[in-house]
Structure 1
């Protein structure tokens, strides 16, 4: 009897440790970013309610000799976020907005001061703050002069050259106009260096989709609509200026970031042959365009961007963040391989950005999933198909509604991500009534359940992309989501994603990869032999055998062929492939090339 009581006490202590520890300092993150995406007024007149995050800029703001604090600025959010570790983000409400909210804001930190500017076609001021963590803003200048009609600056970026103490601004958001650049006069409070508005700016470059396949619009670059360039950003590295831009448009899976390189902040600029630098056309969170590049407190580079939802509103989006860097030949790259799977937080300068990938695999892709109730055709299985535009809705938004996924066998579970969408929502402002709560349970037999996470025991906050990392591996076959609260009349989940590792072997390396470059060199036809037991594949390519920086993720239940339409004319490419399943990742195949 005493042994039984002791065992029960030890079990309760263990469960308490698991649940309480799940709210300790996280060691990993998962895209889309887990921030309190805001409801906003953008579509209030149309009575369309949705949370969204777009046009992200993360600034490492350093004051004195202290480690920097990160500030995230996002379109029409009524404020900004601050973080010390790039994963725990606290929303900052400004003491007052000096005017209307900001679209695609530009932000810059120079000598203990954070500068902020909004997209505009009118006269607008540049603001500054020496206490952004407190939400304090002041006018740096009152009115940046208005430029000629339709020129902007929309989607601006501010840049300070520390070696010359010169200041610049870049911008562009159009399928007619190029990316523009202008020098700013610091002696006159950062107004344009040339006071004549028609001469204050100059073109930097235009899109060239006839030479750059990835700049073509549409799903997999298949739409003849003239593409858009937007989201300028400047990074200086090793004496070179990397002017970055987003293309070909927010919609679809191919939203990407590219770069031109120059020896002067205003050019001339040359197109980098390894473009795009940030590209994620496959997987759950596709697209990663219109963001910025920044360094963390360890000297590592990161690149931000936007992944498209487009369910409730065409511009409905979430935020992505991927490790980036410069190669030995100063090639700027962004690593999107397994970009929406869990990654480690950086705690030091990394040598290889692939080392940040945890190796925790997606365990429930199209596995059996059941729900406590279902509204119309919005079925439970739509939460595990890795399609962000399909979702489950229960009959009522009430506590106790459940989703239960059967992994098919015991797995070591390490993390769970729950992604929400705003189906027929009626919320138009993020106030104290807007927050997310749920519980997570696991079971080995489908009968006895243990709780592994409880968001009701943590401070209330809204988590449209809630990522829950467990303190250690929990072995189970079943995982259950139990709903507690979200704002609005419905709860809608488009991603119930369980990560960890199976107890079997990783799949074999794919063979018989073939690559045929089409007559139109922007395109190539790929095929490979399917691997038994594989869940999916990563097509890897680049401009050298050791620079396979690009990734296209394909699921095994899709055809084993791909028309890749993202290549640059006149550039030879190298290709390889790897497979993955719940247990791990195969070795990479022999590299083919050049093609």
Structure 2
């Protein structure tokens, strides 16, 4: 009799425990902000205490550490920061300096991106080329430096830019394709690149600007050793020609606001999801409030690309009561847990004109549409 009693009591406790677990699971699904799920709710730490433009973060699995690179922090070179949690960042030493034997750049060291390949770390960056017989004001090219670890020192590979397409270029981004091919994406500078369009006609009629210069995004195959390009660059993205184009309003704000006579398409970042290639890019003046991010999609790495009707997916929030503007030149990071982050710079009315780093979650909807949950600010 006693044995049967204890068996029945044990069964009762088992049923109660199972019911409790099921109820808690249902609560977590229906209320993701319940106590057990609070750790999964993102709390913004923006802006980070990192004064970088054009930020790029790489996760190094060997050291289980995140390393951030960007424009600024040191003259004629690049600094790095490191973090274990993406919130607290430690300023590290200078990782690249133009004061080296193979340096080809003289100033304006911009937009570094670092990739690990075959045990080495490769930094792609933009700078003003010292080979400048015509004394061009914007003689920008892209170079590659290599190091044995994420903190350098990075040494230039060849002593000259990666290639010279015959016009100034910036903002290198590299894509590693599944078939083993490599692709380089970059932006042709606005400098001496006046383009006729309905926006240019409008600016002349308004007596605002006599011409409108534009930057365009190109792609080209990259050699396996990062030492050269293969074939001719392909034009992938440019500002709209027609004012009826649904992208024209947001991509032309630097012009229509009277800020400057240039329209940018720059800061590209390519990734693939399922069978679709996504190219994120920035438009408008990087030093102004209208800098914003959009994206385009294609079925191959070199396009043709079609811009999303959802653009822009990241922009200033000052017109809706926020304090963030100048949001742009983004990259993406997949953290150690697999979450995707949009890494970009912006400004706030509290911090002034200095560009600071922001991290906000990137969502990819079932219909393939991208969404950046930002800009957010730490409460």
1:568-589 deviation per Cα after TM superposition (whole angstroms, max 9, x unaligned): xxxxxxxxxxxxxxxxxxxxxx
Residue in structure 2 matched with residue 193 of structure 1 by the alignment: 230
Query: Any idea what SS the aligned residue of 1:180 has?
Result: strand
Q: Quick one: distance in 2 between partners of 1:137 and 1:251?
A: 28
Query: Any idea what SS the aligned residue of 1:214 has?
Result: helix
Residue in structure 1 matched with residue 12 of structure 2 by the alignment: none
Q: Which has more helix, going by share of residues?
A: 2
Q: How far apart are residue 261 of structure 1 and its match?
A: 0.7
8 A contact 2:116–2:122 mirrored in 1:
yes
TM-score by length of structure 1 reads 0.44
Query: Any idea what SS the aligned residue of 2:250 has?
Result: helix
The structure-2 alpha-carbon separation of the partners of 1:127 and 1:310, relative to structure 1 and needing over 3 Å to count, comes to farther
8 A contact 2:82–2:91 mirrored in 1:
yes
Residue in structure 2 matched with residue 205 of structure 1 by the alignment: 237
What are the ranges of 5 or more consecutive residues in structure 2 without an aligned counterpart? 1-41, 130-140, 191-212
**Alignment counterpart, residue 334 of structure 2, candidates 282, 295, 316:** 295
The structure-2 alpha-carbon separation of the partners of 1:177 and 1:328, relative to structure 1 and needing over 3 Å to count, comes to same
Q: How far apart are residue 29 of structure 1 and its match?
A: 4.4
8 A contact 1:295–1:302 mirrored in 2:
yes
Residue in structure 1 matched with residue 49 of structure 2 by the alignment: 34
The correspondence of residues 133-212 of structure 1 with structure 2, limited to 5 A, is 133=151, 135-152=152-169, 154-161=170-177, 163-172=178-187, 173-174=189-190, 175-186=213-224, 188-194=225-231, 199=232, 201-208=233-240, 210=243, 211=245, 212=247
The correspondence of residues 162-561 of structure 1 with structure 2, limited to 5 A, is 163-172=178-187, 173-174=189-190, 175-186=213-224, 188-194=225-231, 199=232, 201-208=233-240, 210=243, 211=245, 212=247, 213-218=249-254, 222-223=257-258, 225-282=261-318, 283-308=322-347, 316-336=354-374, 339-340=376-377, 342=378, 499=379
Q: Quick one: distance in 2 between partners of 1:250 and 1:281?
A: 16
8 A contact 1:121–1:146 mirrored in 2:
no
1:124-173 deviation per Cα after TM superposition (whole angstroms, max 9, x unaligned): 6412233114x332444543444244332x12212222x11211111114
Query: Any idea what SS the aligned residue of 2:326 has?
Result: coil
The structure-2 alpha-carbon separation of the partners of 1:95 and 1:146, relative to structure 1 and needing over 3 Å to count, comes to closer
Residue in structure 1 matched with residue 61 of structure 2 by the alignment: 62
8 A contact 2:216–2:264 mirrored in 1:
no
1:426-479 deviation per Cα after TM superposition (whole angstroms, max 9, x unaligned): xxxxxxxxxxxxxxxxxxxxxxxxxxxxxxxxxxxxxxxxxxxxxxxxxxxxxx
8 A contact 1:307–1:317 mirrored in 2:
yes
Q: How far apart are residue 267 of structure 1 and its match?
A: 1.0
The structure-2 alpha-carbon separation of the partners of 1:328 and 1:268, relative to structure 1 and needing over 3 Å to count, comes to same
1:89 aligns to 2:92 (yes or no): no
1:255-290 deviation per Cα after TM superposition (whole angstroms, max 9, x unaligned): 211111111111111111111122233211223211
Query: Any idea what SS the aligned residue of 2:111 has?
Result: coil
The correspondence of residues 556-575 of structure 1 with structure 2, limited to 5 A, is none
The structure-2 alpha-carbon separation of the partners of 1:332 and 1:108, relative to structure 1 and needing over 3 Å to count, comes to farther
Query: Any idea what SS the aligned residue of 2:302 has?
Result: coil
Residue in structure 2 matched with residue 590 of structure 1 by the alignment: none
Residue in structure 1 matched with residue 122 of structure 2 by the alignment: 115
Q: Quick one: distance in 2 between partners of 1:189 and 1:290?
A: 23
The structure-2 alpha-carbon separation of the partners of 1:121 and 1:269, relative to structure 1 and needing over 3 Å to count, comes to farther
8 A contact 2:80–2:95 mirrored in 1:
no
Q: Quick one: distance in 2 between partners of 1:166 and 1:183?
A: 7
Q: Quick one: distance in 2 between partners of 1:251 and 1:141?
A: 32
How many correspondences in the alignment? Answer: 285
8 A contact 1:61–1:112 mirrored in 2:
no
Q: How far apart are residue 96 of structure 1 and its match?
A: 5.7
Q: How far apart are residue 252 of structure 1 and its match?
A: 3.9
Query: Any idea what SS the aligned residue of 2:266 has?
Result: strand
The structure-2 alpha-carbon separation of the partners of 1:266 and 1:120, relative to structure 1 and needing over 3 Å to count, comes to farther
Residue in structure 2 matched with residue 73 of structure 1 by the alignment: 69
Q: Quick one: distance in 2 between partners of 1:332 and 1:294?
A: 15
The structure-2 alpha-carbon separation of the partners of 1:145 and 1:114, relative to structure 1 and needing over 3 Å to count, comes to closer
Q: Quick one: distance in 1 between partners of 2:184 and 2:175?
A: 6
8 A contact 1:73–1:81 mirrored in 2:
yes
The structure-2 alpha-carbon separation of the partners of 1:286 and 1:125, relative to structure 1 and needing over 3 Å to count, comes to closer
Q: Which deviates further from its counterpart, 93-102 or 296-305?
A: 93-102
Q: Quick one: distance in 2 between partners of 1:28 and 1:311?
A: 20
1:132 aligns to 2:143 (yes or no): no
Q: Which deviates further from its counterpart, 286-295 or 208-217?
A: 208-217
Q: How far apart are residue 112 of structure 1 and its match?
A: 4.5
The structure-2 alpha-carbon separation of the partners of 1:312 and 1:334, relative to structure 1 and needing over 3 Å to count, comes to closer
Q: Quick one: distance in 2 between partners of 1:250 and 1:165?
A: 34
Q: How far apart are residue 95 of structure 1 and its match?
A: 6.1
TM-score by length of structure 2 reads 0.67
Q: How far apart are residue 310 of structure 1 and its match?
A: 9.8
